Structure 1
Amino acid sequence: MPSTPEPSQPAATAHHYSVIVVGGGQAGLSMSYYLKQAGIDHLVIEKHTVTHTWRSQRWDAFCLVTPNWQCALPGYPYRGNDPHGFMKKDEIIDYLDGFIAMVDAPVLEHTEVRRVTPRPQGGYDVFTLQGQFSADQVVVASGGYHAPIVPRMAERLPAGIRQIQSSEYRNPQALPEGAVLVVGSGQSGAQIAEDLHLAGRQVILAVGEAPRCARFYRGRDVVDWLADMQYYDMPVSEHPLREGVRDNTNHYVTGRDGGRDIDLRRFATEGMELYGVLEDYRDGALHFSPNLAASLDDADQTYNRINAGIDKYIEKNGIEAPPASVYVPVWQPDAERTTLALGDAGIGAIIWCIGFRPDFSWLDVPAFNGRGYPGHVRGVTPHDGLYFLGLPWLHTWGSGRFSGIARDAGHLADLIGKRHAGYQRAA
């Protein structure tokens, strides 16, 4: 793995900054890029090291599920020779290392923010393990995936079964012998199940309600079609689901080996065992919901619906393209299997791939709804000088991705700059 360029380390005695950015991932570094351009003094505080998650929470065969041309961090677009390919883990890290070096952000690493509170006179106090700071404005750029979700039933499973969360998975060889139960079929679950399946491991997949999409359709990557259709420019305020889209599970697809569909039905014809949602463990057996057929059907309906939208776009614009098609299931479950005796299954490991919960408990500002999600409009909260950046669907589909972070960071930087100028005049 390439070494991370050493970011500048500001002195801990310089307590006040115009802006403090919490989080040193692609969002926090993008914010720093624009603040440096504007000449606004700031500090990025990172709990671990910059872009830590990309280095420590991805499996060995991980690759992007979006084409390389969508890697468009501010001032640092993809410059490789395979814009329609999918960068692998080491290539992603190389790309990020170049971005880190280019931005040269003022970063304080290995520093956990323990509390952020409003100051009576305006601005915010930021308490960390390295001391106390203050800022006129604060940007929360720590993402929305903090606490891995593992159900309490896991505590009752036999101690001899190794249990890990998706962020801990590395490769099939690192797991003990026996079948592997993968719980969840979102992007991580589906890709990890595929990784294990291709390695010849027996996989039991508890299928969730995640949708799927085609990798390629009518001669092009579906992402290319959707970009032309301006789907990625649609703000959350114009999406049919409005803010509800933020709760959606990502479509499963892969960029592996040049990109392809993930078809769980085909995996079933090759020996992968599919069940519905895992509900409980009791009396020595795993218990599943009888919803496997419905989940597979719903995923396929989404797949075909996206392709039908592309068909309409092609027809409306008179575009020459290969013929349209509709996915026809290659496998159907004979019946819903709702129990699996653990002693008969030979399961040696379980991988929990059911997502993460946000944890903003350190932010002592009443800015959250009943589900712990921050209230904001395009990252701007009702609280003066407090912003969020890098959350899924903060503004558009690309808000939490390499493709859309620049637009969001630039927008917030403009607002921060105007407020900063007001502070300067008042001083």
Structure 2
Amino acid sequence: MSTEQVEVLVVGAGQAGVAMSEHLGTAGVPHLVLERDRIAERWRTGRWDSLVANGPAWHDRFPNMEFGEVDPDGFAAKDQVADYFADYAQKISAPIRCGVAVTSVRRNSGRPGFTIETSEGTVEARFVVAATGPFQIPVIPPIVPDSAGLTQIHSSSYRNSAQLPEGGVLVVGAGSSGVQIADELRASGRDVYLSVGPHDRPPRSYRGRDFCWWLGVLGLWDLETPPAGAEHVTIAVSGAHGGRTVDFRELAAAGITLVGRTAGHRDGVLTFETDLAANIAAGDASYLALLREADEYVDRNGLDLPAEPEAHLLGPDPACVTDPLVELDLAAAGVTSIVWATGFTTDYGWLQVDAFDEHGRPAHRRGVSTEPGVYFVGLPWLSRRGSSFIWGVWHDAKHIADHIVTQRGYLAYRAPRPPQ
């Protein structure tokens, strides 16, 4: 079987791979994108049925194409997002080959570039871009054994309430996914417990502007490193129900029992940390801090945006916060399922090059890895806070494409012959 030759191989055709293809194509760089499933497959089959984007359509998109059937201030459904990327790939004539899995990437010895083994043969490339994103391996903490007799699934496998057996549900994790799933389960008539860890809780909108707008004008999307201790803090924000601020007091008033972080399990009894009130208070502090920054921005610039003093008022903590559960007998409470909204880890076992630190994390600067010729795109905080959003991925990909173009220029240099 012959070996295919390409200049740049991009692995993955989600939002990162499509953005990468656009910028490489615009720069005239020959490339190939390999995708083991379909374009933006995770949006189609790796999310629950009712999921919508967390950012409004005017903001959460690539600069060169709008969402066709979504109001600019609305929130695109997951299939609409997937269709958007498929349409975008067609618009830019992206050279994407679906149904091809990359199994290994190794640097060539004694010659430039890399040899890539795939499910359909061998490819050689001068440059490799890993665009597989951060959501690769679901993480379920080893707290509750399979022998406990509960249905346990990760949020990436959750689709709707009907897939779970009858009975109550514990949702572990109070970021965007956990909050929305818990709210949906409670609305379906379930008894729901929500395990709340540290989080930031921005307002969905304030003074007539979405929080995405506020983070933009306040320069917060451009933060290059997370605040100390906040590298892995989850964000509780939702586009569900047309977009509204996540308020744990409202969730409790709707019948959801809030508990602290899930700590352990023994003989059918779950134990929780005593950190619930502190986590709620810290989330409130992040919420109020953004409101104050927004108010200062309005005053400083003389903007005609209506004041919203009621947004600063927080109700009393519910009883489940002031007198929190520290343990829960699952059988006595009728809990039959646990949904673990506990995030993901990456899997770069196929990328067999020196591009990782001592903890196995990608070692890079703005996506340019420590292994010359290897790049990463689509990771949180790749270059700044906005890297996790669709538009942020697009800008990160532009930087990487520019770097590749520069390197190609150096490699194309030929020294003039000395005079005879």
TM-score normalised per structure 2: 0.92
Deviations for 1:341-368, whole angstroms, at most 9, x for unmatched residues?
1220111211110100112122122222
1:235-250 to 2 correspondences below 5 Å: 235-236=223-224, 240-241=227-228, 247-250=231-234
Partner residue of 2:20 out of 26, 31, 38: 31
Deviations for 1:177-208, whole angstroms, at most 9, x for unmatched residues?
10011011111111111111222221111111
Offset of residue 74 of structure 1? 5.4
User: Is residue 2:301 matched to residue 1:311?
Assistant: no
1:11-22 to 2 correspondences below 5 Å: 13=2, 15-22=4-11
- Taking the aligned partners of 1:327 and 1:391, their CA distance within structure 2 comes to 36
Partner residue of 2:43 out of 36, 39, 54: 54
- Taking the aligned partners of 2:69 and 2:59, their CA distance within structure 1 comes to 12
- Taking the aligned partners of 2:218 and 2:410, their CA distance within structure 1 comes to 40
Partner residue of 2:379 out of 391, 401, 426: 391
- Taking the aligned partners of 1:302 and 1:327, their CA distance within structure 2 comes to 14
Q: Do the aligned partners of residues 80 and 343 (structure 1) sit closer, same or farther apart at CA in structure 2, a change above 3 Å counting? A: closer
Offset of residue 249 of structure 1? 2.9
Deviations for 1:51-93, whole angstroms, at most 9, x for unmatched residues?
1101001111111111111133253234556211111223223
1:94-243 to 2 correspondences below 5 Å: 94-120=83-109, 121-159=111-149, 161-232=150-221, 234-236=222-224, 240-241=227-228
- Taking the aligned partners of 1:275 and 1:167, their CA distance within structure 2 comes to 22
Deviations for 1:14-35, whole angstroms, at most 9, x for unmatched residues?
5111100011111111111122
Q: Do the aligned partners of residues 70 and 51 (structure 1) sit closer, same or farther apart at CA in structure 2, a change above 3 Å counting? A: same
Report the residue type matching 1:308 in the other structure: R
Match of 1:403 in 2: 391
User: Is residue 2:68 matched to residue 1:82?
Assistant: no
Identity %: 37
Match of 1:296 in 2: 280
Deviations for 1:193-237, whole angstroms, at most 9, x for unmatched residues?
1111222221111111122111121222222222222322x1415
Offset of residue 340 of structure 1? 0.6
1:347-426 to 2 correspondences below 5 Å: 347-425=335-413
- Taking the aligned partners of 2:147 and 2:178, their CA distance within structure 1 comes to 20
Conservation of the 8 A alpha-carbon contact between 2:130 and 2:377 = yes
Offset of residue 425 of structure 1? 4.2
Conservation of the 8 A alpha-carbon contact between 1:24 and 1:51 = yes
- Structure 1: gaps of 5 or more residues: 1-11
RMSD: 2.0
Conservation of the 8 A alpha-carbon contact between 1:265 and 1:329 = yes
Conservation of the 8 A alpha-carbon contact between 1:20 and 1:139 = yes
Partner residue of 2:54 out of 49, 65, 90: 65
- Taking the aligned partners of 2:191 and 2:92, their CA distance within structure 1 comes to 45
Conservation of the 8 A alpha-carbon contact between 2:41 and 2:82 = no
- Structure 2: gaps of 5 or more residues: 416-420
Offset of residue 370 of structure 1? 3.4
- Taking the aligned partners of 1:157 and 1:305, their CA distance within structure 2 comes to 45
Q: Do the aligned partners of residues 43 and 426 (structure 1) sit closer, same or farther apart at CA in structure 2, a change above 3 Å counting? A: farther
Partner residue of 1:322 out of 306, 315, 318: 306
Match of 2:418 in 1: none
Partner residue of 1:264 out of 242, 248, 256: 248
Report the residue type matching 2:294 in the other structure: I
SS in 2 for 1:223: helix
- Taking the aligned partners of 1:112 and 1:133, their CA distance within structure 2 comes to 12
SS in 2 for 1:76: coil
Match of 1:8 in 2: none
- Taking the aligned partners of 1:157 and 1:270, their CA distance within structure 2 comes to 32
Conservation of the 8 A alpha-carbon contact between 2:355 and 2:374 = no
- Taking the aligned partners of 1:84 and 1:258, their CA distance within structure 2 comes to 9
TM-score normalised per structure 1: 0.90
- Taking the aligned partners of 1:98 and 1:304, their CA distance within structure 2 comes to 39
SS in 2 for 1:280: strand
Q: Do the aligned partners of residues 25 and 344 (structure 1) sit closer, same or farther apart at CA in structure 2, a change above 3 Å counting? A: same
SS in 2 for 1:419: helix
Report the residue type matching 2:377 in the other structure: L
